[in-house]
């Protein structure tokens, strides 16, 4: 399957302008054969809100006008899309990634790991587990930005059969090692395709570093965005490559399988709860 990653600038509090840019990029990607198009985190709304109250007017239900407008474009052009937005929660907003096609919403994910930055300082913690969704011939897992810093997130989706993990991001200055090392590592350790689709530009004193990164199931970089330019990157997902977890390097002498070789009975401490203070939530 041909997939496109749209590295774009985003204007905070300007959903109509952002949506118009997204629809234009989607049309270009479809013209170039992309069947799935991935946009950054909070691509619809912007990210650096300074309170939950400021963000509330820009939160929309999945049945709202932005998703409905995008769905009409999908009905016209075909294909599927993933993009970041804010959705209402009982206490404010969720940081959400939505996956949809012309038939409607395939699935949505509410960000589980929230850093002390931007809207995530005020957003409600995601309340549903990671899931994998069928998109044509491939299986797509959804996560958002900071989730990639927690290897458990990607592993859960790999165990659910993900071929591709789509990660809309807002990586700012200071997160360069995420784009340069972590994304490739997550792909390699789970033998999946991994697309971290970042934004560019500045927003309320923060600069977003671009460097959209797509890695193949062996951890090789398939494509890499620049630090500052809006651009569309294209790559192909071969589900046969992601679903064959066994790697044979020397027949009969050297083979590994990072799924089958796990020892989950030894990992109990990973799921023990903690009470450590969380930055931005203290």
Catalytic sites, residue numbers: 41, 111, 145
What is d(CA 179, CA 173) in angstroms, rounded to the nearest whole number? 11
- With H, G, I as helix, E, B as strand and everything else as coil, classify residue 278: coil
Per this entry, what is the length of the chain? Answer: 282
H or E, element range at 85: strand 80-89
* Nearest by Cα to 167 from 194, 132, 138: 194
Closest of 235, 210, 211, 242 to residue 4, by C-alpha: 235
Compute the distance between CA of residue 11 and CA of residue 91 in angstroms, rounded to an integer. 25
What are the backbone angles phi and psi of residue 250, rounded to the nearest 5°?
-135, 110
Mutual angle of helices 151-159 and 183-190, in 10-degree steps: 30
For 193, list phi and psi in degrees, rounded to 5.
Answer: -75, 145
Measured between alpha carbons, how far is 20 from 28 in angstroms, rounded to an integer? 13
C-alpha span between 188 and 52 (Å, rounded): 37
DSSP, res 187? H
């Amino acid at each position: 399957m041909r997939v496109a990653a749209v590295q774009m600038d985003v204007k905070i509090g300007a959903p109509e302008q952002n949506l118009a840019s997204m629809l234009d990029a989607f049309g270009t990607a479809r013209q170039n054969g992309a069947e799935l198009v991935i946009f950054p985190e909070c691509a619809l709304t912007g990210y650096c809100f300074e309170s939950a109250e400021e963000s509330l007017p820009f939160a929309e239900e999945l049945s709202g006008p932005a998703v409905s407008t995008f769905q009409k474009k999908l009905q016209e052009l075909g294909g599927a899309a993933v993009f970041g937005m804010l959705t209402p929660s009982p206490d404010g907003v969720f940081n959400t990634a939505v996956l949809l096609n012309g038939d409607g919403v395939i699935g949505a994910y509410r960000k589980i790991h929230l850093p002390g930055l931007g809207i995530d300082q005020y957003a409600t913690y995601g309340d549903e587990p990671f899931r994998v969704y069928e998109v044509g011939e491939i299986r797509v897992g959804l996560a958002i930005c900071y989730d990639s810093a927690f290897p458990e997130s990607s592993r859960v989706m790999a165990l659910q059969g993900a071929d591709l993990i789509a990660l809309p991001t807002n990586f700012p200055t200071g997160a360069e090692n995420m784009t340069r090392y972590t994304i490739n590592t997550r792909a390699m350790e789970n033998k999946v395709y991994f697309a971290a689709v970042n934004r560019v530009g500045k927003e309320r004193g923060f600069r977003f570093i671009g460097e959209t990164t797509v890695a193949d199931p062996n951890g090789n970089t398939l494509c890499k965005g620049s630090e500052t330019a809006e651009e569309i990157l294209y790559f192909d997902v071969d589900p046969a490559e992601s679903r064959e977890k066994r790697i044979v390097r020397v027949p009969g002498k050297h083979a590994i399988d990072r799924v089958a070789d796990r020892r989950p009975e030894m990992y109990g401490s990973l799921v023990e709860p903690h009470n450590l203070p969380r930055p931005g939530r203290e």
